[in-house]
Structure 1
Amino acid sequence: MAHIHLGEGSFPLWALALWTTVGVALISVVVYRIRKDSIKTHQIALAGIGAAASFAIFQLNIPVWGGIHMNLTGLVGILAGPLLGALIALVVNIFSAALGHGAVGLLGANTLVNASEAIVAYYIFKALLRMDWDSFPASTGAATLGLSAGAILMGAIIVISGVNGSALPRGDLTIAVAGLVGLNLGVAVIEGILTGFVVQFLVSVRPDLIGLVDRTTTEDSAGVTA
């Protein structure tokens, strides 16, 4: 949902090097964990579907305050997991940059932003399920908080880096970016609700895709209905 819509050369070289290095480090850890741990077949299939859906909706840009859109990273994280979710964020950003949606030099920063959305959404969703939350509020809340974390990280990256050629002092830039972050937080709520409906539907037809087979079976055997 959050994305840095700035052109090439907008960040100083030190910032490009910093965010690219951190982004490469994150993806390196993700690839190492994937190679070390086994990935279930259904997760790979979900990752492919999630990447395609995320990329498609990612291109629908609303030209408001630098551009806002949905990208379903919260949903991708919940379905595919944090590791594949981070890789999907990288792939979607690479293809988007190839189409001119986002600067190539900002791949590291944007991957960090979108990967954080998927990772945070996944862990919050699992935590809420362990607290016996129903799938709809758990997924809605998790996606909203994940997307909010990405929006805040996006704003922090811009403020820390500064923007080349901008006449705004750092304080005024912070205020302007805060407005952009606030707008993205509003969109996060909308996308969170959409994610909740999708997850609720999947739970009703294929709870195994959400990792709820054991929980659903236990509740049914005990005579408990959701």
Structure 2
Amino acid sequence: MILDIRQRIRSTEQAIVLRRDLEAPHTRPKAAIEIDVRPLTEADVPKILHAGEAASADDVLYRSRRRWLLESGLGTCYAAVTASDEPCYVQWLMSEQDNAQIQSYFGGAFPILEPGTALLEGAFTPAPFRGKGIMGLAMSLIAEKAADLDSRYVITVVGTNNIPSLKGCEKANFFPYLNREVAWSMLRRKVTFEPVAAA
């Protein structure tokens, strides 16, 4: 809590908005285990969004934030599940119809979704399933659900220092689109988006 307050006194966070064009050719990456994706069910929640007694403080926080997102009713939470139907990954898919709630819930941390654009947010893989290539495949499959929302593009946001997630996004055919900067100064937050410089 003390660290969070210090960050809000003065800090700057950099992230990348990545975008996938669902009409662009893409071969889904492979994972080390067989998975499928479906909407998260009530029975899944304690299995993947509740931390055990031995969980780290970070793990408790990550799962708590996703429970809060689930309780908000925002978008649709999809789960990647194993062959035995055990949830091993979650991520939310939101559409332009959710713009008002997205801006309210996240406080302007995401760009306003343009027509034909969806958002993926809240990715989480429990520790036992990390390092198996699940994110790239699951994210690829969930992004394709956006076609049912009449979306051609899907965006997501990842911190510039989160290398594993950036690699997972690249495998799912997401590429840099915008740079995001979140600047805190005396408890006031300013979020700016700038186009990624052409290579």
TM-score calculated relative to the size of structure 1:
0.29
Write 1 or 2 for the structure with the bigger share of strand.
Answer: 2
- Larger RCO, structure (CA 8 Å, separation 6 or more): 2
Write 1 or 2 for the structure with the bigger share of helix.
Answer: 1
TM-score calculated relative to the size of structure 2:
0.32
